[in-house]
Chain A
């Protein structure tokens, strides 16, 4: 058991430690990670070489992959990587720095007189998405950000994050011969993997279509042998392998960039509010707190309002679906499952009465 925070402080002592809470002046060409996260750790050399990333999460639990023991172990292991690298450094190609605040969409906001009090990490994602859309470089598959190892069929150990805890039966990883207990070393010849975030980084940069990934791994020595075996597995991935469920995508702020939108938003009713109205505890019951009738999506919101949706309505079903565990889950489902222009029936509860409205899904 690691005692916190003393062991963490001791493990961090050999490092120059920097806490960044506003990305305004951060060089986003140099420092890159999953910008949807609200907590991320990057371990790097001063020459710009990033050793490891840490702090990602599965859709189900924001803290499932972040723990003090895992970070302490990573800090210790990365010292070995640092010493090894310093013996034969290979700095990345120098690029002119680009501060987050200098990204054109943020500059446009400033030029329009809007305040940008803090550049949150997700705003970098938002700005880069806008740039890609405006330059016609955006591909729909680009929305599958930092795929979880589960997309390959891998369950990695949160406490020892390059170690395979389980392999899903029938998955691409199983077909490639990977097994529980294997330690991932590299994907496609990239840098040494030590964290789930490292694995996701490599998957993020792999092509979204059908492809093959070479996964270098170490396996415990077989009976009668002393050295672990190192081998490479070829993981064959089908088209669409990066795709995940709306439930797993729901935590990402990036989803707000995607279309279509339901045209409204708001929170789910509380358990008490559901009981008062005789509504089931585990089905859609979303209070319309706002209708998006402003900004770039104003036309869609106005169409939703014209169809009969009002603030204060309770949405009970949307396009025939009501199996949503949270408001973000509902929003992600619309954005990932539906298409702009789809006709939808929306069942509303207003003043104790149910009514259904119809409209075409706006952008």
Chain B
């Protein structure tokens, strides 16, 4: 469980992962993502991550 939890942080925080077709395609513009979600009737996944 601890390994998986640590992996969660690593996976969700990784910028490099965004380059991988198998990884989550993160956006940074909430307003644009929200407009797209409205248009396509998709839900939103927001990750708040302190990286500093």
Q: Is the CB of A71 within 8 A of B43?
A: no
Determine if A33 and B48 form an interchain contact, defined as CB atoms under 8 angstroms apart: yes
Closest to B47 in A: A19
Interface residue count on the B side (C-beta < 8 Å)? 41
Task: Mark each residue of chain B from 1 to 12: 1 if its CB lies under 8 Å from any CB of chain A, else 0.
Answer: 110111111011
Q: Counting CB contacts under 8 A, is A79 at the interface? A: yes
Q: Would A45 and B44 count as touching, CB distance under 8 A?
A: yes
Known contacts A43-B44, A68-B8, A19 near B50 by CB under 8 Å: no
A229 contacts chain B at the CB level, 8 A cutoff:
no
Q: B34 contacts which chain A residues (CB < 8 A)?
A: 16, 46
**B11 touches which of A44, A45, A68 (Cβ 8 Å):** A68
Question: What's the least CB distance linking B6 to chain A, in Å?
Answer: 6
Q: Is the pair A20, B28 in contact by a Cβ cutoff of 8 Å?
A: yes
Q: Given known contacts A21-B51, A67-B4, is B30 in contact with A46 (CB within 8 Å)?
A: no
- In the A-B complex, the 7 residue pairs with the smallest Cβ-Cβ separation, listed nearest first, are A63-B5, A15-B45, A46-B37, A46-B38, A38-B50, A19-B26, A16-B33
Contact A158 B1 (CB under 8 A): yes
B46:A42 contact, CB within 8 angstroms: yes
Chain A 14-32 per-residue mask, 1 if CB under 8 angstroms from chain B, else 0: 1111111101011000010
Q: What is the bound-complex CA distance between A45 and B37, given in angstroms?
A: 8
Cβ-defined contact, B38 with A47, below 8 A: yes
Question: Would you give 26 A-B contacts (Cβ < 8 Å), ordered by A?
Answer: A4-B4, A4-B11, A5-B22, A9-B23, A15-B44, A16-B45, A17-B25, A17-B27, A17-B44, A18-B26, A20-B28, A20-B46, A25-B30, A38-B49, A39-B9, A39-B48, A40-B48, A41-B48, A42-B44, A43-B45, A44-B43, A46-B38, A63-B2, A67-B4, A68-B7, A86-B41
Q: Write the residues of chain A forming the contact surface with B, with a CB cutoff of 8 angstroms.
A: 2, 4-6, 8-9, 12, 14-21, 23, 25-26, 31, 33, 37-47, 51, 63-64, 66-69, 71, 75, 78-79, 82, 86, 118, 120-121, 158-159
Which residues of B sit under 8 angstroms from A23, Cβ to Cβ?
A: 48
B residues with CB within 8 A of A? 1-2, 4-9, 11-13, 17, 20, 22-30, 33-38, 40-52
Contact check, A51 vs B47: say whether CB atoms are below 8 A apart. no
Contact with B42, one of A16, A25, A31, A68 (Cβ below 8 angstroms): A16
Chain B residues, Cβ within 8 Å of A45 = 37, 43-44
Bound Cα distance from A43 to B33, whole angstroms: 13
Nearest B-chain residue to A5, judged by Cβ: B11
Taking CB atoms, residues of chain A closer than 8 Å to B6 are 63
Question: By the criterion CB–CB under 8 Å, are A17 and B11 in contact?
Answer: no
The answer for the CA separation of A8 and B4 in the assembled complex, in Å, is 12
Which residues does chain B contribute within 8 Å of A42, judged by CB atoms? Answer: 44-46, 48
CB nearest to B42 among chain A residues: A16
Residues of B within 8 A of A20 (CB): 28, 30, 46-49
A17 with B37: CB separation less than 8 A:
no
CB pair A14 B42 closer than 8 Å: yes
Are A39 and B50 neighbours in the complex by a CB distance under 8 Å? yes
Contact between chains at B50 and A21 (CB < 8 Å): yes
B24, B33, B51: the one contacting A8 at CB < 8 Å is: B24
Q: In whole angstroms, how far apart are the Cα atoms of A4 and B4 in the complex?
A: 8
A41–B12 Cα distance when bound, in Å, is: 10
**Other contacts beyond A16-B37, A67-B4, A68-B5: 19, CB < 8 A:** A2-B4, A5-B17, A6-B22, A15-B44, A16-B34, A16-B42, A18-B28, A20-B49, A31-B46, A39-B49, A40-B48, A41-B12, A41-B45, A43-B44, A43-B46, A45-B44, A68-B7, A79-B43, A158-B1
